[in-house]
Amino acid sequence: MNKEKIIILSHCILNDKSKVKKIEKDPNPDVLSFIQLLIENDIGIVQMPCPELICYGLNRWGHVKEQYDHPHYRKMCRKLFLPILDQIIEYSANNYEVVALVGIYGSPTCGIYRTCSGKWGGELGSNPDIKSTISTVTGIEESGVFMEEIQKILEENNIELKMIDFNKEDMNETIEKIKELI
């Protein structure tokens, strides 16, 4: 008997309105092809909550991992994931396959293999060398804070789950990775 399939998605894949506001919108019609792939293959979708939106709201500035890497934020991330963990356990117990958890490439919270890092912080108006501060922001090969906590929770519960980054800069790669899993 074939198992039904489920995928766990970071919040902003389905709701880009939850992201940090941008001066200019960068519409990405390829997201539609990603969602169509899931629908056409009868993959159930579980949308995770957005810790950044919940903790810092819609008017937040862009952050780096170091700004989110504190005990309160980590505890909140763990708490937000527990209902998703319960769903993973319930689906698995009822002959469903959770094919993957999809994070956000480069996100300080939801990046799986790449996140945003830097010596970013403090009051912008009183920074005498803002350009130098901005120049410290870079991508690094680490997980974001939420994904680190999710990985710990999955290990604590002896759950193996494939995790991939949603990379809208290389949507073909993201789609190919999903095709391999489904």
Q: Give the pLDDT of residue 122.
A: 67
pTM passes above 0.85: yes
Domain residues for the domain of 44 are 4-181
Of 56, 27, 26, 25, give the one whose Cα is nearest residue 145.
56
Q: How does pLDDT run across 112-154, given as a tens digit for each residue?
A: 999 998 887 766 667 677 676 776 777 889 999 999 999 999 9
Residue 111 pLDDT exceeds 80: yes
Q: Give the pLDDT of residue 127.
A: 65
Contact (CB, 8 A) for 38 and 73: no
Maximum Cα interatomic distance, the chain, rounded to a whole number of Å: 65
Q: How does pLDDT run across 14-47, given as a tens digit for each residue?
A: 998 898 877 555 556 678 889 999 999 999 999 9
What average pLDDT does the segment 53-78 reach?
93
Contact (CB, 8 A) for 46 and 87: yes
Q: How many domains does the chain have?
A: 1
Q: Which residues contact 8 (CB under 8 A, 6 or more apart)?
A: 46, 48, 84, 88, 98, 100, 101, 102, 161
Please give the Cα distance from 114 to 128 (Å, whole number): 30
